[in-house]
């Protein structure tokens, strides 16, 4: 639903609650979870596209990547 939304249509969306679980998925170095990490990365990409103000939270994931 984030892809079809933007900051105007999601004014109260709590992206900060979504960020930690996605970051944790990226931090897991188990190769068996590579598909989960890829999906988490895509979700973060869509989150930044739909809500540019969330980019600062995503930048914190940079050391993990």
Answer yes or no: is pLDDT of 62 > 70: no
Answer yes or no: is pLDDT of 14 > 70: yes
What's the pTM? 0.72
Q: What is the pLDDT of residue 5?
A: 66
Answer yes or no: is pLDDT of 2 > 80: no
Q: How far apart are CA 23 and CA 4, in angstroms?
A: 23
Q: Which residue has the tokens 């809500």?
A: 51
| pLDDT tens for each residue of 26-45 | 888 787 888 998 998 898 88
Q: How far apart are CA 23 and CA 57, in angstroms?
A: 10
Q: How far apart are CA 45 and CA 43, in angstroms?
A: 5
């Amino acid at each position: 639903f984030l892809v079809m939304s933007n900051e105007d249509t999601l004014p109260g969306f709590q992206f900060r609650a979504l960020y930690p679980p996605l970051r944790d998925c990226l931090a897991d170095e188990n190769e068996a979870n590579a598909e989960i990490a890829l999906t988490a990365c895509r979700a973060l990409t869509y989150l930044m596209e739909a809500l540019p103000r969330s980019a600062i939270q995503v930048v914190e994931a940079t050391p993990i990547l």
